[in-house]
Amino acid sequence: MSNDPFARLPEAASFTVTSTSITDGAPLPPEQLSGKDISPQLSWSGAPAGTKSYAVTVYDPDAPTGSGFWHWAVADIPATCTELPEGASGSGLPEGAVQLPNDARVAQFAGAAPPAGHGEHRYFFVVHALDVESIGVPADGTPALLGFLMSAHTLGRAVLVATAETPGPESIEVSRFVPAPADAIFAVLTDPSGHVDIDASGMLMGADGEVVTRAGDRFVVHMDREALGDVPLGRYDVDVVITEFVPGEEIAWTVKGEWEPPVGHVYGYRLAPSGDGTLVTSYYDWSGVGALWRERVRFPVVSEAALKATLGILERVVRRRSPGGASRRSGSSTAAG
C-alpha cells in the first residue's frame, strides 16, 4: 500500500514487538477504538546493541489530513523496560517516561476513529530503539517533533500494523418534484416496461410481466451488465420481486437471479403530494447485502447520480404517458433501454 510512513526516514535495524491486545494485520478490537481509548499491551525484544531508551508511537498515515494522525507518543522509556501493560497510557508508564499530547492535543492514547466511509485505515504501533537516554522533547511537544528529534538517534524499529474501518452509509435517497399526480407516477412504477423506460444505468434491456398490484408480485427484467462493466456477467435475466406496495405512496423491490444467496439490496420510491404535483423520493438500500456479495461486487451498484438521473427520466416518461403524450403502455413488454 502507498503512503509508507518510513519511506523518507533513515534505515534502521528491525526487532520484534508483540501484543496480547492487538494482532498484526488484523482489525483493532473495541478497546483500542475511540470511546474506550485503552492503549494496547506491547512487549518487545531483540533491540540493537547500544540502545539507551525507547519511544513508542501510534500513527495513522491514512487519515484525511495531509499529515496523518498521531494517536499516541511516549518518549524516554528506560532501556531496562521491554513491556507496556494494557492501559499504560492511563497509568502504567515507567518512571521517567514522557507522554506527549496526541494530535487531539491530549496526553493519552487516542483510539482509532477513521471517518465513516473512508475505507480501511492502518495504525502503525512502533517501538523505536534510541541511542540516547533522553531524546529531549518537551512535555508539551508534538509527536511530529519527537519524530524529527528521533531521526538522528534511531537504532532500530519494531513495527506492528493493525487496521480499523468505519462503515459509511448503506443507503442513498434522492428526491425531485414531479408536476404530475401520484397515480400517474405510480402507474409507471408498477409497469414492468416503466422500469425499463426510466432506467438510467443502461443495464435494463427489456421486461416481461404484468402490472404489479401487491407485495410478492414479480416480473422478469433482461439485463446487460456490460453497461456497468463492474463484473463479467454479460446478459442475464433477473426476477424483480415487490417487497413494499402502498398504492400511490410507496413501491419497493429486490432482485433475484439464478445465483444463491440473493444479493439482498432493495430499490424503491416514495411519493408524497406537493403543491400541484408530487415529491418523488428514490432510494437504494444495500444494508442487507451479505459478506459474500460484498466481496464480489462494490456497493452501491447504482450511484446517487444515477438515481437522480432516473427521477428526471421518470418525469419525462410520465409526461409522455399523460393524455396528449405518447400512448400509455402496460402489461408484457420487451422495450429496449
Residue 323 has a pLDDT of 75
- Report yes or no: 15 and 129 within 8 Å, Cβ to Cβ: yes
pLDDT for position 326? 43
Answer for the pair 108, 38: CB distance below 8 angstroms, yes or no.
Answer: no
Q: How many CB atoms lie within 10 A of CB 337?
A: 20
**pLDDT at res. 324:** 56
Strand order in the sheet with 154-164: 13-14, 154-164, 121-130, 53-60, 69-78, 98-99
Asked if 309 and 337 touch (Cβ cutoff 8 Å), the reply is no
Name residues of the chain where pLDDT drops below 50. 326-337
What are the strands, taking DSSP E only, across 38-178? 42-45, 53-60, 69-78, 83-84, 98-99, 121-130, 154-164, 171-178
Q: What is the pLDDT of residue 90?
A: 92
Q: What residue has cell string 419525462?
A: 316
* pTM of the model as a whole: 0.63
* Burial (CB count <10 Å: 0-12, 13-18, 19+), residue 298: exposed
Question: Strands across the sheet with 204-208, in order?
Answer: 171-178, 277-285, 266-274, 250-256, 235-246, 218-224, 204-208
